[in-house]
Amino acid sequence: MIQQDQVTTEIVHFAWHSTMLQMNHNFFFLAFLLNLSCVSNEPSTTTLAFSSCNDPSKNLDVLPTLQAALDTIPTYIWLGDNVYLKKKDWASTEAALGKYQETFATPALATLLQTGTHYAIWDDHDAGPNDCDQSFKGMSATMQAFKQFWNPTYPMPDSTSYYGTTSLSDGAVDLFFLDNRSFRTHHDSANATVFGEAQLQWLEDAYTTSQAPFKILLMGGQFLTTAQVFENVSRFPADRELLIRLLSSTTSAPIVLTGDRHHGELSRLDTEFHPILEATASPLTAQSFPHHDEANETRLHEGTTAVNHFGTLSLTHENGKAIAAEMKLIDAEGNVIFEWRETYKNI
């Protein structure tokens, strides 16, 4: 026979047990909601602008449009020939630095430098004479001037150069700054190279260990174009093939930004995982030289630019995955000359 006090005790025990179950349920539900809040449900977009070949004595028309773009684009990349050094300028670090100061004292350029974050690589005219390579004796002086003016703060494994890497957007985008002058040999020489063995080994290590969904290589001369002319990387087939294999070796989305040519164009090369994209933006303020009939089998459109311009690159990513990339070349009136949008498959 069940006594009244036994019934009361069991009812109390049941009520306590039910309350604890409800509290546990609420706790795990709250933890589930908190976990969801740590995972983005909306894609994010990282946008940057870029160009090369800056000689403000030629044409400043594009700078107001670029300035307006940088009101909303936080990052700008100078892709070489950011100054045009003459013989008197590469005589010493002080002389070269004076050329930087003279060039960027131009009011529109001075204002531009005060807007957003600026990164830079160099090319032949920042380093010394036209088409210069490692044989140029004044490169240590011009390298010091480059570093003093642009003040790169990312880790640089070689003190004689500036090559290195940095991240944007909490690691969603990695930038790889390449030096195409300090280690360059003539394209007709034995074992001809643009970047040199040590820099290429560093790049392979840094690129393969990067976890960024977008990996952006920054170099002076054009990379993908199949036209073996001027200072294109196609004139150095060993370097080009090595880099294509490297950029094809991970599931990240590879993009190359280049300058040098005094014309702009967009290129694309299919690989095993994601295609390699390239945007060439040149010139910013220097004289334009279109090469409409140049045989670039990777070009995405007819002809090249024929006017001063800059480029923009918008990268959409979500939870460590590349979603889309959009490249544009934009003229002084704000018109889009060429554009390409790549949507990435989920790998």
Widest pairwise Cα distance in the chain: 112
Q: What are phi and psi of 175, to 5 degrees?
A: -105, 135
Cis peptide leading into residue 155 (ω within 30°): no
Q: What are phi and psi of 24, to 5 degrees?
A: -60, -40
Query: CB–CB of 233/222 below 8 Å?
Result: yes
Give residue 254's pLDDT: 98
Give residue 1's pLDDT: 40
**Cβ neighbours of 106 (radius 10 Å):** 16
DSSP string, 249-296: SSSSEEEEEE--SSS-EEEEE--SSS-EEEEE---SSS-----TT---
Give residue 272's pLDDT: 85
Angle at 125 between CA 74 and CA 79, to 5 degrees: 25
Work out whether strand 336-343 and strand 44-51 pair parallel, antiparallel, or are unpaired: unpaired
Give residue 347's pLDDT: 62
Could you give the CA distance from residue 283 to residue 127 in angstroms, rounded to a whole number?
18
The DSSP symbol for 299 reads B
Work out whether strand 321-331 and strand 336-343 pair parallel, antiparallel, or are unpaired: antiparallel
Spatial neighbors of 277 by CB under 8 A, at least 6 apart, are 253, 254, 255, 256, 266, 267, 268, 325, 327, 340, 342
Cα 245 to chain centroid, rounded? 19
Q: What are phi and psi of 115, to 5 degrees?
A: -110, 115
Token pair listed for 301:
């459109």
Give residue 346's pLDDT: 74
List the chain pLDDT tens, one digit each, 347 residues.
434 444 344 433 434 344 443 444 444 443 444 443 444 468 999 999 999 999 999 999 999 999 999 999 999 999 999 999 999 999 999 999 999 999 999 999 999 999 999 999 999 999 999 999 999 999 999 999 999 999 999 999 999 999 999 999 999 999 999 999 999 999 999 999 999 999 999 999 999 999 999 999 999 999 999 999 999 999 999 999 999 999 999 999 999 999 999 999 999 999 988 999 999 999 999 999 999 999 999 999 999 999 999 999 999 999 999 999 999 999 999 999 999 999 998 76
Q: What are phi and psi of 10, to 5 degrees?
A: -70, -35
Q: Exposure pattern of 289-302 as b/e (b: 16+ CB <10 Å)?
A: ebbeebebebbbee
Could you give the CA distance from residue 20 to residue 41 in angstroms, rounded to a whole number?
32
- What are residue 47's DSSP bridge partners? 314
Cα 238 to chain centroid, rounded? 23
**Tokens 């939870």 identify what position?**
319
In words, the CATH class of domain 43-343 is alpha beta
Angle at 338 between CA 334 and CA 343, to 5 degrees: 115
